[in-house]
Amino acid sequence: MTTLAQNKWIGLCCDTVRNNLKKIRVGIEKESLRVASNGHIAQTEHPPKVGKALTNKHITTDFSEAQLEFITPAVSDMSAGIRFLKDLHAFTAQRLEAGEYFWNASMPPVISSDDEIPIASYGECNAARIKTLYRKGLANRYGKRMQTISGIHYNFSLPEELWQCMHVRMGVGVSLQDFRSDGYLALIRNLQRHGWLLLYLFGASPAVDISYLPEGSERLSLMGHDTLYGPYATSLRMSDIGYTSVVQGKLDIRFNNMEDYLDGLRAALGTSESLYEQIGVVEGDTYKQMNTHQLQLENELYGSVRPKRNALGDERPITALCRRGVEYVELRSIDINPFLPVGIDDEQANFLNLFLTFMAFADSPSINAEERKAYAQRTAVVAERGREPGLQLPGYQQQITLVEAARELFKGLQDMAVLFDEVHGGEAFGASVAAQLAKIENPELTPSAQVLEKVREYGSHQAFISAISEAQSSHFKVTPMDEVREADLSTQAKQSEVEWERLEAEDIAPFDQYLNAQAAYFCPPGCGKY
């Protein structure tokens, strides 16, 4: 294990680190199903009063018409970011249909049939139709139920000034763009090694309604008549009953350098897959997916973390990465904590910023194929059995328990918390580390253990999540909003209507031509920097 004291970046750039740690930026994307008063997925359209899902930058939909996605701006003040997320919930809750509420959990409510899961609809213009078609492809490839799983995506970036300082001192012969991209890829490799810790600390999906797995699961236990659970599970969402794909499991996506990563992504975007060829692209006048490639689009790539770059205009995500390198990382392994009204709070965000910074600063050698499989197995073991007493973690040179491995990581995290608290003033980061370390010593303090306790108390996953979610949404519905924030969100909703109407009116290209242009593989090697 690499401790903070051993890390050369801190030693070389200590002053700049201190001056710029406050400038770490985070944006949060939180998914949440709308549920009707009967506890099933809502069948109503996206709430009209919050604007159009196609064009509203803060309130949109994910896979399903009933699956809201709340998006905060990237901010350096995490308390402000969480408040913004709460305001998005309150603004939307006060505009829901009567009886509807937010399902504040990662695993979905009872699902009687796939017909209960409406695919998101965005309009009739080509930009809207292609978004719906992409989701139809997901449904045909993976099934609708998997797409109803919700989570929190944590978009993290270190300040540009920090990269510039480290580049001056350590990036001899390498451009700033390459140095920054290599740094973010090093962070990702360390998350492959150590990201299991986040599942243990923040996993909150140890149970699921039996309707999600009609044929059951041999590795899960039955509680009552309608709940499946893992006795020591932390995050079924991140296990192989969550986001899984046989095809994606065989993709060669590596994070050792940008060339390797982009080559792997290019191959997946450009290689036809026999399983998807059997589905077909179009049947009669009905499209079934965008193409038969291993990935229809870049965002189809599952994984706990992805390198990202904001695209310009109609630029493809891979093209943006190719031209300008990595801008931030998208951490995708965070479950929704049902005990927290928006699924996350300041203490967790403080720890995540600390942890991700530590992963960026710690040594991060390249990872070979064998190591990649071992690290994936390590993550899977923690997702399914993380609270098991004496659990041994695979993939280490010597036998080591989860508790021992976690204690070793926390040595460096405690050192970094001291630095963060000195810079920010106060004791918030030290307190966040102490709270998480307590979970290592006592698994009953983890969200997964607490969720399972409540599921037992209420008698089922459905009963507990319904009760707590309905109470939280009821609170949001009567929570007064800051007048300025409410006015801003109302303005955004109206502007999204205007932009949507413009797109609907101006669209003239035949859809098949538009699809061919949009889905075409147009990022060959040499298209930009890489």
Could you tell me how many residues make up the chain? Answer: 530
CA distance 281 to 272: 12
Q: Is the pLDDT of residue 263 over 70?
A: yes
- The terminus-to-terminus CA distance of the chain in angstroms comes to 32
Q: Give the residue among 129, 137, 91, 108 at the shortest CA–CA distance from 34.
A: 108
3-state secondary structure 377-430: HHHHHHHHHCCCCCCECCCCCCCCEHHHHHHHHHHHHHHHHHHHHHHHCCCHHH
Averaged pLDDT, 447-470: 98
**In the prediction, which pLDDT does 299 show?**
92
**8 Å CB contact between 488 and 84:** no
* The two structure tokens encoding residue 328: 């931030």
- CA 366 to chain CA centroid, nearest Å: 24
Q: Is the pLDDT of residue 5 over 50?
A: no
Phi-psi region of 367 (alpha: psi -120 to 50; beta: other; left: phi over 0): beta
* The two structure tokens encoding residue 210: 């039996």
Q: Is the pLDDT of residue 217 over 80?
A: no
Q: Give the residue among 37, 35, 225, 219 at the shortest CA–CA distance from 111.
A: 35
**In the prediction, which pLDDT does 1 show?**
45
* Position 215 confidence tier, pLDDT thresholds 50, 70, 90: confident
Alpha helices in 148-224 (DSSP H): 160-170, 176-194, 196-202
CA distance 207 to 145: 15
CA distance 346 to 77: 10
Number of neighbouring beta carbons within 10 Å of residue 419: 18
Bridge pairing between strands 67-71 and 221-223: unpaired
User: Which DSSP symbol is given to 522?
Assistant: -
CA distance 260 to 91: 43
User: Which DSSP symbol is given to 119?
Assistant: B
Averaged pLDDT, 20-38: 96
Averaged pLDDT, 314-328: 92
User: C-alpha dihedral over 185, 190, 196, 202, to 10 degrees?
Assistant: -70
* The two structure tokens encoding residue 411: 């040595």
CA distance 448 to 453: 9
Q: Which CATH number fits domain 4-519: 3.30.360.10, 3.30.590.20, 2.60.40.420, 3.60.10.10?
A: 3.30.590.20
Phi-psi region of 51 (alpha: psi -120 to 50; beta: other; left: phi over 0): left
CA distance 16 to 160: 11
Residue owning tokens 């060829």:
277
Averaged pLDDT, 54-62: 98
Helix axis angle for 126-142 and 511-519, nearest 10°, is 70
Q: What is the pLDDT of residues 76-108, one digit of tens each?
A: 999 999 999 999 999 999 999 999 999 999 999
User: Of residues 300 and 217, which shows the higher confidence score?
Assistant: 300
Alpha helices in 250-309 (DSSP H): 258-270, 274-279
CA distance 78 to 26: 7
Q: Give the residue among 297, 302, 314, 298 at the shortest CA–CA distance from 519.
A: 297
Q: What is the pLDDT of residues 362-411, one digit of tens each?
A: 999 999 999 999 999 999 999 999 999 999 999 898 999 999 999 999 99
**In the prediction, which pLDDT does 520 show?**
58
Phi, psi of 503, rounded to the nearest 5 degrees: -65, -40
Q: Is the pLDDT of residue 226 over 90?
A: yes
User: Of residues 419 and 102, which shows the higher confidence score?
Assistant: 102
Domain boundaries, the chain: 4-519
Kindly report the pTM of this predicted structure. 0.96
**8 Å CB contact between 236 and 145:** no
Number of neighbouring beta carbons within 10 Å of residue 202: 24
Averaged pLDDT, 119-126: 96
Averaged pLDDT, 53-62: 98
Averaged pLDDT, 338-353: 98
Q: What is the mean pLDDT of the chain?
A: 93
Q: Is the pLDDT of residue 4 over 80?
A: no
| Beta pairing partners, 25 | 157
**8 Å CB contact between 41 and 34:** yes
